[in-house]
Amino acid sequence: MEIRIPAPAKVNLSLWITGKLPNGYHRILTLFYKIPIYDEIWVEEWDEIRVKCEGIKSESTNTVYKALKYLSEYVGREICLKVRIKKRIPVGGGLGGGSSDAAAVLKVANELFKLGLSLRELSEIAVKVGADVPFFLLPHRAAIGRGIGEELEPIDLTVRGKWVLVFPAFPVPTKLAYSLIESRGIYTNEKDAEEKLGELIKSLKEGKKVKLENDFENVVFERFPEIGEIKSTLVRNGWNSVMSGSGSSVFGLNGEGFENLKGSYKIWFWEE
């Protein structure tokens, strides 16, 4: 029997890149936040690992396939599921869709096969798939991410008001975005980033207007000026706007309209 599970998208309410680690990864500070846009996933027990996902030709490159392989290695036996994924979260949009799918399947596999793995153990497996997969394992809606994004501090936060999210119909490869950052070699001071984050969380909880920042914007907007134009359009319409993750999606809070963007891009609008 198939089980249906939703996998939510996320945005980065702000993101700072604070340096490069010896292993080649970059150190970040960010505020993750789950939003009400979901991939739909159906799973059932099977005699092998099968993953069918719209737009993904090779099973072995899918995050869910990788997650089940790593889970099988961890527990020392094959954890076999047949998985169907209906994509609603744009691939390469900085919204964490693939990571969310992997986390959702890890959680359901843990329950279906009665593995009894703790959140810490699941997170050890999840980070092998991707740096932000552990965030989606959390029951919390928001969390601070440190390290490469896997060092998580859950927080109680709901961002009230009007939301708009715009996907420009093309992805920004994460590796490319980080390579552009590295070519500049300019990072945000970690202490300054922590201070900004503290102010951001305080203002969001108090319902005040906040300053949203993303260190990827300058380099990504240079390479993909259309994304910068989307943000500028939102700002002109009164939206407090920033790019999510390494792009390409841009979201805004509490503006008035987005008429100039209709028909050109994929747009979601909701209120909380």
Judge whether residue 57 has pLDDT over 80: no
Q: How far is CA 244 from CA 13, 57, 61, 85, 220, in A?
A: 7, 26, 23, 23, 11
112, amino acid identity: L
CATH topology of domain 3-155: Ribosomal Protein S5; domain 2 (3.30.230)
Average pLDDT over residues 227-232: 96
pTM above 0.75, yes or no: yes
Q: How confident is the model at residue 59 (pLDDT cuts 50, 70, 90)?
A: confident
Judge whether residue 58 has pLDDT over 90: no
**Best CATH choice for the domain 162-271 from the list 3.90.340.10, 3.40.50.1000, 3.30.70.890, 3.50.50.60:** 3.30.70.890
Strands 250-253 and 266-271: unpaired
Residue 264: what pLDDT?
Answer: 78
Q: Where are the beta strands (DSSP E) in 131-239?
A: 142-146, 151-155, 162-167
pLDDT tens-digit profile of 166-205? 999 999 999 999 999 999 888 999 999 999 999 999 999 9
Q: How confident is the model at residue 259 (pLDDT cuts 50, 70, 90)?
A: confident
**Domain limits, the chain:** 3-155, 162-271
- Tokens encoding 237: 């319409």
Whole-number mean pLDDT of the chain? Answer: 95
Catalytic machinery residues: 10, 132
pLDDT tens-digit profile of 100-125? 999 999 999 999 999 999 999 999 99
Residue 171: what pLDDT?
Answer: 95
Which residues does residue 252 pair with via DSSP β-bridges, in sequence order? 164, 241
The percent of residues in the chain predicted with pLDDT above 90, rounded, is 89
End-to-end CA distance of the chain: 34
The answer to whether the beta carbons of residues 204 and 272 sit under 8 Å apart is no
Phi, psi dihedrals of residue 2, rounded to the nearest 5°: -75, 145
DSSP-derived letter for residue 59 is G
